[in-house]
Amino acid sequence: MPSLIRFLVVLLFLGILVLAGMLAVVALVEPREKDVTVRVPTQTIFNQST
């Protein structure tokens, strides 16, 4: 039983570390904005074979 409790405590600790890392990324990283251009070939629009 003590090994089960130790295992659960380790999993809890690792989960807290993961959550702390996620919160740090959210708080410290600013996303960069950029324009996105996607070219669509006109053949796929006008030559639909259905």
Residue ranges making up the domain that contains 14: 2-46
Percent of the chain with pLDDT over 70: 92
pLDDT tier for residue 16 given thresholds of 50, 70 and 90 = very high
Is the pLDDT score of 50 beyond 60?
no
For residues 38 and 49, give the distance between their C-alpha atoms in angstroms, rounded to a whole number.
23
pLDDT value of residue 14: 98
**Which residues are within 8 A (CB) of 17 and not within 5 positions of it... i.e. 6 or more apart?**
none
pLDDT digits (tens, 9 = 90+) for 28-39: 999 899 999 988
The more confidently predicted of residues 25 and 48 is 25
Q: How many residues does the chain have?
A: 50
For residues 38 and 31, give the distance between their C-alpha atoms in angstroms, rounded to a whole number.
21
For residues 36 and 50, give the distance between their C-alpha atoms in angstroms, rounded to a whole number.
30
Number of domains in the chain: 1
